[in-house]
């Protein structure tokens, strides 16, 4: 089962290293990991998706909590969260195919960031599942490259971690 | 004031009285400050790994944080095993390493290694200090982190230019406050109540005491709980000396290499109360089976230990001493365990009076240890190495009110001698012994120099079987095809080695003269080596 763990950490050198090191040492699998600043410049927020049972997630939480640089750990409720990922996708596009690509983009709400005689660069922010299907739709046009950020997530409602 | 001066001042604020170290270019500014400070004790170890072990022995006997100081590069990498050993046994040490100048970090210059990166998987926390003004705070935090919660090693890596940097003002917080580090202390009251109820219901309760009891200084409370509720006690290797051998509730050590009666008690108990132990594989060989067969209570300061190896019915997180006090404040009932205790006492008696095998020209380790234990001071410190010698000692050395120190978690050969040096520094008046194998001894016998440099009275019992006995014992059984790569042929004459350090030695190969030889050994002034001739085919189950 996929679970989303949100971690507040000290914004300091070496912290990410300690966290990823912990995952490999304890044999926890990371499916996705995203780091960024928060509104407090001394704190960063890491969103980690793991695919494992409840027992494992409990251990992940506890082990993360043991790191001195980790301020807070929370596993988000899977059916009550907003999770988004950003994708930038570069695809082959010629005069023949450009219109078809545009149609798919408008269905998904993707934005065109750049265009050249032979390619288009598209941007889409959505759930990872929708990004997956968008990517599948683009494959017949021949994808040049894909970059994804990993998921960031918050719990719905007024609560915070 | 320079960074080096600020560091040493910070160490003094932490009441550090002794440093175990090995000099090198990148710690020269610190050494220079120490040179003007005769009140700070200093031991020159003979290899950096042993600085970690000495700091560990010191910490375990003094109850304070042990400190070691080594240079960058090879000094730091040599220390790694010492740090990992302390980490696995939750021993509070602070390791200070020199580092290349900060503006050259990352260039692979002479003697640069990323030591904070290298030790990350087995250290409680580490710092790479880039501004000397941070040193007072970093040192205060390091000692706080090492000593509180579940204790453990902390490393401070200090580039040499930071040591010479002038600081603006020495400012150290009165109290350490780290937002990501708040160890639990008191146990949850509801859980305490559930524990009391579980004890009241039990007819065959059993306490399993681990190293956490020592770390929390909770021996008295543990004993009081056991005595008040009539609960027998088994111990893990790390908890071994919490009760004297002749205490009627003491059943010895559990586990794969444990005492038979302790394991029997574990098999038949209806309530297992684990105190300050992590339920690791050596002690609880089959935790899943245990949690299915009996009620379990798990008391530990580290929440991550609860549910990691075993899911306890009643988890209780907090300081072991505080939790035991909370329990004792409640009216914990006397359990109806008379029949259970009577049965266990029979097992125990049989085990303690077990007749050991005899062989012409050799002594049996169990026999030596039984005789030795009786002759030791009430509060003696015995440091034991790894291998058969460790198992024999843990199983058969009679305990009084002293300590048995060993590397339980990592099983690091060579731990005993340096640990004894650290212990002796912490308590010069306590009788201090080493028990080791001929393989282990050769991993750290260079520290005989440290013993002699300080003129220490450390007595060393060497079990000479000319083999890596423990591995030899494993290789003799299926699926293996016999001993390989374990013969210690080529070892030196240990009496000659000792003599080269100016240390007298006695050899025993006859159990009839054992008593007189042991008396001679123990009454020899200063360091003395007792070489026990042990047959290579002796097994820890004999
Ligand atoms: C540093 C290290 N290397 C290897 C081992 C594996 N090992 C465990 S016990 C043992 C044999 C120890 O031999 P010795 O010190 O002679 O003790 P004995 O078993 O003969 O009493 C070995 C090699 C270890 N525990 N530690
Ligand atoms: Mg041996």
Residues B351-409 have pLDDT tens digits of: 899 899 999 999 999 999 999 999 999 999 999 999 999 999 999 999 999 999 999 99
Residue B183 included in any domain:
no
CA distance B539 to B256: 14
Residues B42-68 have pLDDT tens digits of: 999 999 999 999 999 999 999 999 999
Residue A158 included in any domain:
no
Residues B153 and B212 in one domain: no
Contacts of B156 (CB under 8 A, 6+ apart): B94, B95, B96, B97, B126, B127, B129, B138, B139, B142
**Are B518 and B375 within 8 A, CB to CB?**
yes
Mean pLDDT of B27-54: 98
Q: What percent of chain A has pLDDT over 90?
A: 86
Residues A88 and A130 in one domain: yes
The pLDDT of residue B520 is above 90 = yes
Of the three residues B350, B382, B409, the one that is the final residue of a domain is B350
**Pocket lining: B24 vs ligand 1, CB cutoff 6 Å:** no
CA B458 / ligand 1 centre spacing (Å): 22
Q: For B19, phi and psi rounded to 5 degrees?
A: -125, 135
- Length, in residues, of chain B: 542
Residue whose pair of structure tokens reads 């040591």 in the numeric block:
B163
CA B411 / ligand 1 centre spacing (Å): 8
Residues A149 and A88 in one domain: yes
Which ligand 1 atom lies nearest to the CA of residue B81?
1
DSSP B294: S
Contacts of B361 (CB under 8 A, 6+ apart): B509, B510, B533
Mean pLDDT of B99-112: 97
Residues B260 and B363 in one domain: no
**Are B265 and B251 within 8 A, CB to CB?**
yes
Residue B540 included in any domain:
no
Total domains, chain B: 3
Residue A161 included in any domain:
no
Residues A149 and A111 in one domain: yes
Contacts of A158 (CB under 8 A, 6+ apart): none
Tokens of B430: 């306590």
What's the Cα-to-Cα distance from B127 to each of A137, B14, B94, B172, rounded to whole Å? 49, 17, 11, 16
Mean pLDDT of A144-158: 96
The answer to whether the bond into B436 is cis (omega within 30° of 0) is: no
Q: Could you give the dihedral angle defined by the CA atoms of residues B434, B439, B441 and B444, in that order, rounded to the nearest 10 degrees? A: -130
CATH number at residue A97: 3.30.70.1150
Ion ligand 2 neighbours, Cβ < 5 Å: B 437-439, 465, 469
Residues A43-99 have pLDDT tens digits of: 999 999 998 877 788 999 999 999 999 999 999 998 999 999 999 999 999 999 999
Residues A19 and A59 in one domain: yes
**Are B351 and B261 within 8 A, CB to CB?**
yes
CATH number at residue B269: 3.40.50.1220
Report the mean per-residue pLDDT for chain B: 96
pTM confidence score = 0.96
The pLDDT of residue A1 is above 90 = no
Mean pLDDT of B502-521: 98
Confidence of residue B279 (pLDDT cuts 50, 70, 90): confident
Task: Write out the residue range of the structural domain in which residue A41 sits.
Answer: 2-76
Tokens of A138: 């683009």
Give residue A70's pLDDT: 97
CATH number at residue B447: 3.40.50.970
Closest approach of chain A CAs to the CA of B304, in angstroms? 5
Residue A56 included in any domain:
yes
Can you tell me whether residue B297 is helix, strand or coil? Answer: strand
CA distance A110 to A50: 27
Ligand closest to B472 (CA) is: 1
Residue of B nearest to A22 (CA): B121
CATH number at residue A40: 3.30.70.260
Give residue B284's pLDDT: 85
Residue A60 included in any domain:
yes
Mean pLDDT of B503-524: 98
Of the three residues B350, B378, B399, the one that is the final residue of a domain is B350
Q: B-contacting residues of A 9-38, CB under 8 Å?
A: 9-10, 13-14, 17-18, 21, 25
CA-closest candidate to residue B165, choices B139, B132, B135: B132
CA B496 / ligand 2 centre spacing (Å): 18
CA distance B317 to B321: 11
Residues A55 and A94 in one domain: no
Total domains, chain A: 2
Task: Write out the residue range of the structural domain in which residue B216 sits.
Answer: 189-350
User: What burial letters (b/e) apply to B163-174, b meaning 16+ CB within 10 Å?
Assistant: bbbebeeeebee
Q: Do B304 and A59 touch (CB under 8 A)?
A: yes
Ligand closest to B540 (CA) is: 1
**Pocket lining: B473 vs ligand 1, CB cutoff 6 Å:** no
Give residue A134's pLDDT: 98
Among B304-313, B389-398, B526-535, the least confident range: B304-313
Give residue B331's pLDDT: 85
Mean pLDDT of B130-148: 98
In this structure, the residue with its CA closest to atom 13 of ligand 1 is B468
Confidence of residue B123 (pLDDT cuts 50, 70, 90): very high
Give residue A39's pLDDT: 96
Residue B539 included in any domain:
no
Residue A159 included in any domain:
no
Residues A96 and A114 in one domain: yes
Give residue B283's pLDDT: 85
């Amino acid at each position: 089962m996929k679970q989303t763990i949100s971690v507040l950490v000290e914004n300091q050198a070496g912290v990410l290293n300690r966290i990823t090191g912990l995952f490999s040492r304890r044999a926890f699998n990371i499916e996705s990991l995203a780091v960024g600043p928060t509104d407090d410049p001394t704190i960063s927020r890491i969103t980690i998706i793991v695919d494992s049972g409840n027992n494992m997630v409990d251990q992940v939480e506890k082990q993360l909590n043991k790191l001195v640089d980790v301020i807070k750990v929370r596993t988000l409720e899977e059916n009550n969260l907003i999770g988004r990922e950003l994708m930038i996708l570069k695809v082959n596009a010629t005069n023949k195919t450009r219109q078809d690509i545009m149609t798919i983009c408008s269905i998904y709400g993707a934005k065109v960031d750049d265009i050249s005689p032979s390619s288009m660069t598209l941007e889409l922010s959505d759930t990872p599942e929708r990004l997956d299907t968008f990517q599948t739709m683009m494959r017949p046009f021949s994808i040049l490259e894909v970059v994804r950020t990993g998921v960031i997530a918050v719990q719905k409602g007024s609560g915070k971690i | 004031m320079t960074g080096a001066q600020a560091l040493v001042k910070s160490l003094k604020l932490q009441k550090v009285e002794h440093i175990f170290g090995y000099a090198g270019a990148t710690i020269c500014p610190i050494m220079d400050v120490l040179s003007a400070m005769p009140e700070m004790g200093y031991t020159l170890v003979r290899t950096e790994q042993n600085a970690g072990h000495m700091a560990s022995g010191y910490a375990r006997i003094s109850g304070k944080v042990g400190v070691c100081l080594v240079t960058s590069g090879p000094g730091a990498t040599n220390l790694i095993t010492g740090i990992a050993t302390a980490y696995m046994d939750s021993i509070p040490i602070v390791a200070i390493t020199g580092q290349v100048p900060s503006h050259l970090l990352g260039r692979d210059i002479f003697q640069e290694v990323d030591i904070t990166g290298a030790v990350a998987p087995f250290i409680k926390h580490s710092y790479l200090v880039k501004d000397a003004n941070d040193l007072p705070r970093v040192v205060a935090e390091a000692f706080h982190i090492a000593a509180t919660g579940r204790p453990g090693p902390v490393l401070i890596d200090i580039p040499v230019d930071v040591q010479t940097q002038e600081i603006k003002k020495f400012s150290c917080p009165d109290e350490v406050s780290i937002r990501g580090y708040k160890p639990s202390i008191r146990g949850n009251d509801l859980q305490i109540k559930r524990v009391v109820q579980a004890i009241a219901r039990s007819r065959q309760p059993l306490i399993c005491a681990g190293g956490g009891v020592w770390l929390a200084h909770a021996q008295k409370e543990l004993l009081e709980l056991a005595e008040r509720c009539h609960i027998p006690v088994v111990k893990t290797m790390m908890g071994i000396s919490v009760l004297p051998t002749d205490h009627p509730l003491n059943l010895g050590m559990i586990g794969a290499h444990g005492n038979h009666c302790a394991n029997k008690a574990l098999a038949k108990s209806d309530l297992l109360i684990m105190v300050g132990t992590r339920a690791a594989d050596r002690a609880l060989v089959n935790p899943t089976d245990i949690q299915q067969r009996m009620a379990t209570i798990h008391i530990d300061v580290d929440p991550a230990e609860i549910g990691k190896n075993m899911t306890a019915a009643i988890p209780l997180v907090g300081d072991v001493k505080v939790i035991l006090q909370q329990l004792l404040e409640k009216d914990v009932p006397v359990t109806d365990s008379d029949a259970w205790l009577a049965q266990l006492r029979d097992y125990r008696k049989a085990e303690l009076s077990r007749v050991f095998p005899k062989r012409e020209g050799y002594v049996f380790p169990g026999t030596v240890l039984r005789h030795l234990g009786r002759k030791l001071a009430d509060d003696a410190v015995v440091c034991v190495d790894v291998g058969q010698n460790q198992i024999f000692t843990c199983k058969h050395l009679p305990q009084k009110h002293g300590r048995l120190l060993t590397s339980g978690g990592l099983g690091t050969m060579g731990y005993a001698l340096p640990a004894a040096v650290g212990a002796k520094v912490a308590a010069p008046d306590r009788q201090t012994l080493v028990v080791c194998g001929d393989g282990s001894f050769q991993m750290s016998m260079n520290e005989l120099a440290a013993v002699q440099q300080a003129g220490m009275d450390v007595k060393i019992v060497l079990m000479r079987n000319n083999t890596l006995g423990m591995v030899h014992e494993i290789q003799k059984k299926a699926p293996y095809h016999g001993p390989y790569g374990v013969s210690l042929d080529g070892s030196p004459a240990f009496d000659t080695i000792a003599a080269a350090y100016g240390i007298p030695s006695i050899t025993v190969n006859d159990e009839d003269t054992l008593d007189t030889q042991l008396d001679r050994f123990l009454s020899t002034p200063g360091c003395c080596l007792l070489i026990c001739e042990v047959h290579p085919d002796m097994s820890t189950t004999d």
